[in-house]
Amino acid sequence: MDPGPVISFLELVLAEDIGSGDVTSAAVFRRDQRDSFKVRAKRGGVLAGAPLAAALLLTHDPDLEIGLPTPEGSRLRTGDVLLEVSGSVRSILEGERVALNLLGRLSGIATLTSRFVAAIAGSNAKLLDTRKTGLGTRYLDKYAVRCGGGHNHRIGLFDAVLVKDNHIAAAGSIRAAVDALARTGWSPGQIEIECDTPTQVRECLECGVGMVLLDNMTPDRLAEMVDLVAGRCELEASGGVTLENVAAVAASGVDYVSVGAITHSAPALDVSLGTGD
């Protein structure tokens, strides 16, 4: 992960919350008043984001002392200590809410991802994320997916070719889109095409594309597409995938299952900061 955008993001979210200053903590505590705090999980889950929460606090006050007793990707139980911090009470309380928001969001993504990964454990399919992430948190959300055992699809529009339905409609056909990409240096094997009919899948095979995204197909239809393709390209199933049906989707024989919900609908893990043991 490139640290530059991350540091800029941490500075932005701190400034958003603290603004011109924490009027409550400034009135109650001297800047040199010190104490120690611990961040704990209030329910079970999978940890992601503790080093980022630490970096956020240190961005605000480099003199804070921080410990990270639990490794990223660990399975958590209620009461587990995720982060320990000592130093200026004012500095810690100024950064508290933003650090907990970050830690809770990323651990929530990792936790939901791990549930999907566990649900397809009996198959050969890999779980992928999508671009349906928080605004400004793309890299962090995708990091959390990896902590939960999932895999990253493309980061954005810049690092992989995915020809979707609107591309096909505007270009006129799958062949026209593939030919246009070829003129700019993309080989068919580097191209993924979104398809929702067997006819489109056959056209992709004729073009020699490297991957086909099978959009909103039932497990039975997915299995038919697996037989049709017969290993000539990789297959990704996407659309309408839930915890209730993901095992059946993966059992169809596809290579990948992509799920937008793991980043756009994951409930935050409940975490809290307090003093004492």
Would you kindly state where each structural domain of the chain is located, as residue ranges?
3-117+267-275, 120-264
What is the C-alpha separation between 254 and 222, in angstroms, rounded?
A: 7
* Whether the predicted pLDDT of 256 surpasses 80: yes
* Residues labelled catalytic: 97, 132, 164, 194, 215
* Whether the predicted pLDDT of 5 surpasses 90: no
CB 245, CB 83: distance < 8 Å: no
Rg (CA), the chain: 23
165-217 pLDDT per residue, tens: 999 999 999 999 999 999 999 999 999 999 999 999 999 999 999 999 999 99
What is the C-alpha separation between 109 and 143, in angstroms, rounded?
A: 9
DSSP-derived secondary structure letter, 240 = S
Nearest to 228 by CA among 206, 261, 251: 206
Superfamily for the 120-264 domain = Aldolase class I (3.20.20.70)
Beta pairing partners, 275? 37
Q: Determine whether domain 3-117+267-275 maps to CATH 3.90.1170.20.
A: yes
Average pLDDT (139-166) is: 97
Considering the chain, what is the average pLDDT of its residues?
A: 96
- Return the pLDDT at 197: 97
